[in-house]
Structure 1
Amino acid sequence: MTPLQQARQAAVDARARYRAGLVAPSAGQAPGLTQANMITLPREWAYDFLLFAQRNPQACPVLDVTEPGSYSTFLAEGADLRTDLPAYRVWRDGQLAEEVSDVREHWAQHDDLVSFLIGCSFTFEADLINAGIDVRHISQGCNVPMYRTNKLCRPAGRLHGEMVVSMRPIAAERVADAARITARYPGVHGAPVHVGEPALLGIDDLTRPDFGDAVTLKPGEIPVFWACGVTPQAVVMASKVPFAISHAPGHMFITDIADSYYHV
């Protein structure tokens, strides 16, 4: 098999493991293939979110939108968005109601759900690693740290809320390299939105992320922040959306699309 065929087989295998009940962060799985965040909303909220994403493309770069009621996507043939992510969150009236590994039961209660697959910064991590830049949550075997910020997104319709960011510690002398590498992936968040000084984003303590796990910040490293596809979950909370399904932070949908597709 070619390297791309091998990667796609790894993606098929990973989705099968998640469908069978494995719950684990997806970072580092099927390297070379794009990963995606997911937010699923009733049809009556879908236009508001599509407009929200259009107005906030760095936080919500849309890779695909499903037809109402559909749980398939062109991003992965034969995949099932109800079962093939490692973990999901179910939201009611802006509150987290459940975290589960299968949402078929919840999906069956609605016949008009629309799913948005949103670019994920996990996609560009292989290029960082290949450039000799340590991706700390992968080397430490944990979930990426994510933080709510004081940076408000542009509202749309009934939706509003703050941007969520992911953080990766980068050696000071490699920050420019990391920014240059990730800027070539605008469809999966692109360049950092902030470098250093977490307090300017309203982040008081890097050891206490709002989502994911804390990672070690070594001497000589600078915290670098990227827009994060968990932003829609912060928006669901702030806007008190009556019902929504999302991926659990760090537990992404692994597509069959090569990372290079989003590289410019």
Structure 2
Amino acid sequence: MDVADLTPAQARRRFREGERVPTAGWCRGWTQANLIAVPRQLGYELLLFAHRNARACPLLDVGEPGAWSTGLFTGDLRTDLPGYRLYRDGRPVADLGDVVEEWREDLVPFLIGCSFTFERALLDAGVPVRHLELGTNVPMYRTNVPCEPTTTLSGPLVVSMRPVPETLVETAIEVSGRYPLVHGAPVHIGDPAALGIADLARPDFGDPVEVRPGEVPLFWACGVTPQAVIMASGVDYAIGHLPGHMAILDVRDERYRVG
């Protein structure tokens, strides 16, 4: 079966059984989300950080301390994503296939919106999505744009990039702008140096894609931002998804479309 035709439950079963791939293009029409789980004592501050940086951290759902499912994700957050990253003292120390042993009773799981949610709408509007064409992960970059900090959380905005033909830039802006709860319209268009990105061929997360003649790089705020903030802030313990390896929710993309 084409992975685009899978239900969320079918996809989660495949990940639970060991499939390890980026999820762009999976489960057409179903919303995907970024995962970050932090100790209870940091939960309120991460909630405040997400509120202050809603473009990068659009909060879709939060679980109870120790919970491994939420109202929008009825699977097991410890096993049903295709990849995880474990952080200690702000450092990524392991990439894992599951986090059953690492999941603590005090961890609060946050599910953050993902720009994969509007990619089908881009395609339907005739806007090509290069990483889907190539079957690779979306390229993501740390920027020189600081997030609005809280008392102990601070760090850079992370962006995802998609090259768009110049004639379709306005279409891409309009279409993605209809999804404000999953990052919305691009935060920057054109020159990557304006964001402090020195080389598009060397993303900090994901895979590089070619920007062809006549195309313009468009940059969207990215839900990997909380993981960059975990690293910059030296948070003692956290679990995130492996960038591009998302939680597939039990809710349709159209729930997050406005207008």
Aligned partner of 2:76 in structure 1 is 80
Identify the match of residue 37 of structure 1 among 22, 34, 38. Answer: 34
User: What's the C-alpha RMSD, in Å, of the aligned pairs?
Assistant: 1.0
Please give the per-residue CA displacement for 1:156-185, whole angstroms capped at 9, x wherever unaligned: 121000000000000001000000000000
Q: Aligned residues, how many?
A: 255
Please give the per-residue CA displacement for 1:168-222, whole angstroms capped at 9, x wherever unaligned: 0000010000000000001100010000010000001000000000001111000
The list of structure 1 runs, each at least 4 consecutive aligned residues, that deviate by more than 2 angstroms after superposition, is none
Distance 2:149 2:246 in 1: 25
Equivalent position amino acid for 1:65 in 2: V
Identify the match of residue 106 of structure 1 among 102, 109, 112. Answer: 102
Aligned partner of 1:194 in structure 2 is 188
Q: What does residue range 1-264 of structure 1 map to in structure 2 within 5 Å?
A: 10-77=7-74, 79-107=75-103, 110-264=104-258
Alpha-carbon shift at residue 112 of structure 1 (Å) = 1.1
Distance 1:155 1:165 in 2: 17
Distance 1:234 1:24 in 2: 21
Please give the per-residue CA displacement for 1:88-126, whole angstroms capped at 9, x wherever unaligned: 00000000010001000001xx21110000000000000
Equivalent position amino acid for 2:155 in 1: G
Question: 3-state DSSP class of the match of 1:192?
Answer: coil
Distance 1:39 1:198 in 2: 27
Distance 1:99 1:148 in 2: 19
Equivalent position amino acid for 1:248 in 2: L
Question: 3-state DSSP class of the match of 1:46?
Answer: helix
Q: Please report the TM-score for the alignment, with normalisation by the length of structure 1.
A: 0.95
Identical pairs, percent: 58
Distance 1:178 1:111 in 2: 42
Question: 3-state DSSP class of the match of 1:150?
Answer: strand
Aligned partner of 1:3 in structure 2 is none
Structure 2 residue runs of 5 or longer lacking an equivalent are none
Question: 3-state DSSP class of the match of 1:245?
Answer: strand
Alpha-carbon shift at residue 76 of structure 1 (Å) = 2.9
Please give the per-residue CA displacement for 1:123-164, whole angstroms capped at 9, x wherever unaligned: 000000111111000001100000000000000121000000
Equivalent position amino acid for 2:14 in 1: R
